[in-house]
A and B are shown apart, each in its own frame.
Chain A
């Protein structure tokens, strides 16, 4: 999966949680919880949605790595590229 595709999946899932936010305007290195005004529960729902969509296992301790848009994309790219997922 290309980083563009991952980017679009991530944005789509974030949009499901905070539909009022224009994802284009979000600073890719900003803390998503602040940039999107989402709480920890929303963030958990985002992780769950990503897991369901991409089949990636995200251990609890890795959650902080997905706290920015850039971070999430880099992390998922690594996971998807390195694993057996085709």
Chain B
């Protein structure tokens, strides 16, 4: 925690309409001493007010990290700054407020989807690519033991599409699945 109180005067406070909102931020922490404290510091330092911390110590993510759910209050216009500060500090932010997912994108996976454990693929997409799978359509015209296709509708944080698809590509390489990504950039 900062030793000195934040030197912010009243006129530097952004217009908030007097309103603050409650947000839930889901983090993934490395299982090391001091990690939780390190994760909370950027929240208070950027104008967030901690409401509660749910530290799921017994519940390990597929990557061996510990999920932590933090409820906080902040003026809406400062919330992005809090999430950015967390990411800048190297904290893995899984989910930041329900409305924070700025983009919905589709991706098509092709291969032995059932054989290679579709549900494990989906949970890896969620944990390793930081995306939420909102919807899944599966087409397996030759039966579930043959090549199948799946369309995933993903909710991802604004501006993170590049990293999300990099991670999905790596999962595809790992599981020998063809990944058909959306084309990003340019004007259609």
Query: Does A pair with B?
Result: no
Binding site for B on A (CB under 8 A): none
